[in-house]
Structure formats: C-alpha cells, structure tokens
Amino acid sequence: MKLATLDIVIVLAYLAGIFILAQWVSREKAGHQKSASDYFLASKSLPWWAIGASLIAANISAEQIIGMSGSGYALGLAIASYEWMAAATLLLVGKFFLPIFLRNGIYTMPQFLEERYGTRIRTLMAVFWLGLYVFVNLTSIMWLGSIAVAQVTGMDQMTALVLLGVFALAYQLYGGLKAVALTDIVQVTLLVMGGLLVTGITLGQLGGGDVLAGFSRLWSEHPGHFEMILSKDNPFYKDLPGISVLIGGMWIMNVSYWGFNQYIIQRALAAKDIREAQKGVVFAAFLKLLMPLVVVVPGIAAVMLAPGLDKPDEAYPTMMRLLPTGILGLVFAALVAAIVASLASKINSVATIFTLDFYAKSKKQHSQAHLVRVGRIAAAVSVLLAALTARPLLGSFDQAFQYIQEYTGFFTPGIVVIFVLGLFWKRANEAGALAAAVGSFALSVLLKMAWPSLPFIDRVGLVFLLALALGLVVSLATRPQQAGSDLIRTDDVDYSTSAGFNVGALGVVGILVALYAVFW
C-alpha cells in the first residue's frame, strides 16, 4: 500500500485542521484564566452532540477498528455483540447512574468512591486506573496505531509511535477536555464516513458495483459468519460463549466500561445538565448500533476478497488496498482520527485523576492556574511513559487486545460491585468495598488457574456474583459507616427521563431486538 500525493495532502490537511480547531474551540474570553473546571470538565458546558460523539471517539481506536475487523474475518458478526450490547448499556447509564453522579457534583470516579466509602478505596482504585490508562490503554493504542501507520506509510514504527503520541498530546494540551470533546464530532464524522466508504467499496466489489447485492452474496455464501449466538461446537465459542453474551459477563464488562470508566464517563460529567447528558448518551447508543457496519463488515468481506490471510488482523489494512487514490487518504485520515481522539481522551483522564485525586488532595492550597499546569505536566509524563514502555509490554504479543482483556478482566467484576452497591445500597461500607475489589482479583486469578477452559466472559460473570456476595457479607458483618461519612445523596435523585430520551431508548431497544432476531 502506498499513499499518493493527493492522499498525503488529505491526511496533512486533516492533521492541521483538527489541531487548529481544537485550539480555537478551547480558547478563553479575554481576561479569563482557565480554571481546573474549564480544563478537566470543559467548564461543565458540553452539549449533547459533543457528549455523544466524544463517547464514541474515546472508545473507537486502532484496536477496535483493526481488531474487530480481524475478529469479523475469523469468527464473523458475533463480535458485534460488544458494540450492540454497549448500546443497551449506555441507556442504563443514562437512566440510573448519571442522575446520581450529576446530582452529587462528581468529576472523577475516585472522588465518588471517597465521598461514598472513604479514602482507602479511593486511593486503591485511583492507583489502579492510573496504571491501567498509562501502561495498558495508552501503550496499546500507541503501539497498535503505530503498526497501522507504519503499514500504510512505510514509516519506521517507533517514529510513528512517537509522532502519534506527541500530536495527541499537543492537540489537547492547551484546551483540555473542551479541546477533545468539541472536536470529536469532526473526528467521529470522519471515522464513520471513512469506515462506510471501506464497507461500501468492499461490498461493491462482491456485488459487481451493487452494495446490497454484495452483502446478499456474502451472507448466502458464508452464513456461518452471520450468526450472532455461537454454538458450543464453534471453534470460537470460548471467546463468545453463546447465550452468555446476552445474559452473562458481557453485561458486567460493558457496565464497568461505560458506567464507571473515567475517560468515558468524564464526557457526560461535563454536561451542562442531566437532560443534556442523557441526550448525548442516546446519541452515542445509536452510533454504537452503526459501528459494526463500519468496523466488522469489512473484515467479513475480506473472507471472500482476501482468503488465506496469515493473521486475521491483516483484514482491514488489506481492504484499504482496494481504495482508490483520494479515498485512501480520507480513510487513512479517519484511522488516524480514531487513534488521536482516543489517545487524547485517555491522556486527559490521566491528567484529571492525577491532579484532582492526588495532587489537589495535599494539604497545601493550590491556585486554579497551578492545577491546570500540573495537569499538563501529568499529561506529558503519561505520554512519555507510554512511549518508553509500549515495545517492552506489547512487542511480544501476537494479539495486544488479549493483553488488555486479561489485565482489566481481573478487576472488572469488583469495580462493578463496589459502584453498584455504593449507588443503590446504603448499608454497603468501605470494608465491603475493599473486600469486593481485592476479592475480585484473587477470585479471577484462582478461577483462571483452576478452570482454564472456562470462557473469559463466563468467568467475569461468575466472579461478579462471588464478589457481590463477598461485598454484601462483609458489609453486614462489619460496622456501618459513621454518620456523616457517606456524602453521596440518593434520596432526592430524580430518575425521570424526558420524552425524547424515552423515545430514543425504545428505538435503540427495538433495533437491537430486530438485529438479534435477524442474525440469531
């Protein structure tokens, strides 16, 4: 694959344009100095379209585009459950979680844990999230993104890695979350448009220029690649264990990711009010329904257009080779947009947690300008650490996505338990939360060693139930929290939703039911 001059011009125009736009939208009025709220929460003024677009931009990156296309090539449409189940999860987040978070003025997830339980659980989870974001999320996005850039441009991979990290850092360094969120509508538009172009061109190749005919041919000749619920005799059953995908551990993974993950939920916490946040969540849910068409179907099409690939993850780059000059530049710009947007989101969240949950907790009083400066330094350090550790951590992995899943899956059940109990059961205390958090890790390791054949998703679901029981028992067996130590108010939270949210939610659920009915 080789970029023509026109392709290079398109990519450079995108990079320059998005950088200038980020600085412009995050500028401050004359005489106003950027505060911590401005930098980390976009002045709590994000509109619904920015929230919805930014949720997707933070989520979709190189590992999703290349990895899910590769999974589409190997096992088929069933991998789309990660996207479609996320759409349903977003509705739960908007209906039940956001009203509590916004009512209590929450700006970080560790802050919620401290105000609900105490300082020990906040410190434990803040350290976990910082480690996760820097040494798992940032490293994986930079590593996989650099592979994609190197394959398309012929650039040295480490050079590509450094350039991606530096550009993502510079892009959001001045404006913070506002620079990221208010430009993500452009990033997502480019991502979806570029992905649909790949899908349309690949299906057109199969259908003699007719996209629908190409899809029909693909479905009729490879019906096994369009089964959403895998049977036990399917070679990929361990990755997506049948009906468990709909009623088991995938719910836990999605609730943890979309409900309690700082770099995701931070966009909704920056909304100007709960109604705006909920509209943004519904917008993101509709975009999630669309994403398999963008990132999975090209991989399935590659089964016919490029049979016999050495590795499934080669499917998307191989399909890009079918693109004509100009379109290739646009699609490559979309891929870079996904990488940069996701990197920038995680960089900003690292800066937010470090500054507000560690540095600002010191006894010394700090000015708003000083906190913003510390946040920028933390952002730069996080990129440097990720760049230095990407190759040692990921260079030996054939599938970096598995590295991410294995690391986070040990903690995911416990995270969901401590937040769900904290949100909806006042008797839960810090001892119970710590027991669930630590027990989740210990139980996950134990089950993985004792029962290695247990599918990953089923293990997550089982550990969740065990950690939930542990949190309940320990909370009941120990003293209740002292009066006044639980600062989270839930007695006056309004869970009602607007007519627009309700109609949108019904639309999402209706489409999901139809999709699973058709592709069961």
- CATH number assigned to the domain comprising residue 156: 1.20.1730.10
pLDDT for 109: 92
Distance of CA 105 to the CA centre of its chain: 23
Is 287 within 8 Å of 52 (Cβ atoms)? yes
Instruction: Give the pLDDT confidence score for residue 31 in this predicted structure.
Output: 60
Task: Encode pLDDT of 183-195 as tens digits.
Answer: 888 888 888 888 8
Kindly state the average pLDDT of the residues 55-68.
82
CB 242 within 8 A of CB 231: yes
Burial of 205: CB neighbours in 10 Å, binned 0-12, 13-18, 19+: middle
On whether residue 16 sits in a domain, the answer given is: yes
- Helix 327-357 to helix 62-74 angle (10° resolution) is 120
- Is there a domain that residue 495 lies in? yes
Residues sharing a CB contact under 8 Å with residue 490, sequence separation 6 or more, in sequence order: 100, 103, 423, 424, 426
In angstroms, what CA-CA distances link 273 with 104, 138, 340?
12, 30, 28
> Are 117 and 423 contacting, i.e. CB atoms less than 8 angstroms apart?
no
What pLDDT, on a 0 to 100 scale, did the predictor assign at position 181?
A: 78
- pLDDT for 26 beyond 80: no
Residue range 171-216, pLDDT digits in tens? 888 778 877 777 888 888 888 888 899 999 999 999 988 999 999 9
More confident residue, 51 or 1: 51
Task: Give 367-387 pLDDT, tens digit per residue.
Answer: 888 888 998 999 999 999 999
pLDDT value for 114: 92
Cα–Cα dist 485/116, whole Å: 7
294 neighbors 107 (Cβ within 8 angstroms): no
Residue 401 has what pLDDT?
55
DSSP classification of residue 46: B
Provide the pLDDT confidence category of residue 32 given band limits of 50, 70 and 90. Answer: low
Q: Region 351-380: what's the mean pLDDT?
A: 85
Residue 130 lies in a domain: yes
* Residue 418 resides in a domain: no
Q: What tens digit of pLDDT does each residue of 312-343 get?
A: 878 888 888 888 888 888 888 888 888 888 88
Question: Quick check: helix, strand or coil at residue 211?
Answer: helix
Burial of 44 (0-12, 13-18, 19+ CB in 10 A): middle
Asked whether residue 429 is domain-assigned, the answer is no
Predicted TM-score of the model (pTM): 0.90
The string of pLDDT tens digits covering residues 127-150 is 888 988 898 889 888 888 888 888
Q: Tens digit of pLDDT for each residue in 479-506?
A: 998 888 899 999 999 999 999 999 999 9
Distance CA 144, CA 148 (A): 6
440 inside domain: no
Position 240 scores a pLDDT of 86
Query: Structure tokens of 353?
Result: 């947690």
Number of domains in the chain: 1
Tokens of 320: 């890009």
Residue 430 belongs to some domain of the structure: no
The pLDDT of residue 397 = 57
Phi, psi dihedral angles at 84 (to 5 degrees): -70, -35
* Distance, CA of 256 to chain centre: 10
Q: Residue 207 has which token pair?
A: 């259908």
Q: What is the largest CA-CA distance in the chain?
A: 71
Nearest to 473 by CA among 440, 431, 422, 516: 431
Q: Is the Cα torsion angle 162, 342, 371, 50 positive or negative in sign?
A: positive
**Closest to 48 in 3D by CA, of 182, 190, 163, 145:** 182
Report yes or no: 259 and 101 within 8 Å, Cβ to Cβ: no
High-pLDDT (> 70) share of the chain, %: 95
Cα–Cα distance between 219 and 301 in angstroms, integer? 10
pLDDT category at 155 given cuts 50, 70, 90 is confident
**What is the Cα Rg of the chain in Å?**
22
**DSSP-assigned beta bridge partners for residue 46:** 271
Tokens of 103: 């009512």
CA distance 116 to 344: 29
User: What tens digit of pLDDT does each residue of 411-439 get?
Assistant: 899 999 999 999 999 999 999 999 999 99
Look up the domain containing 193 and give its range: 5-21+36-409+490-519
| Residues 91-106 pLDDT 10s | 999 999 999 999 999 9
Cβ(58)–Cβ(394) under 8 Å?
no
Return the pLDDT at 400: 53
Q: Which two tokens stand for residue 155?
A: 């650039």
The reply to whether 404 falls in a domain is yes
Q: 330 to each of 64, 105, 213, how far by Cα in Å? A: 18, 40, 25
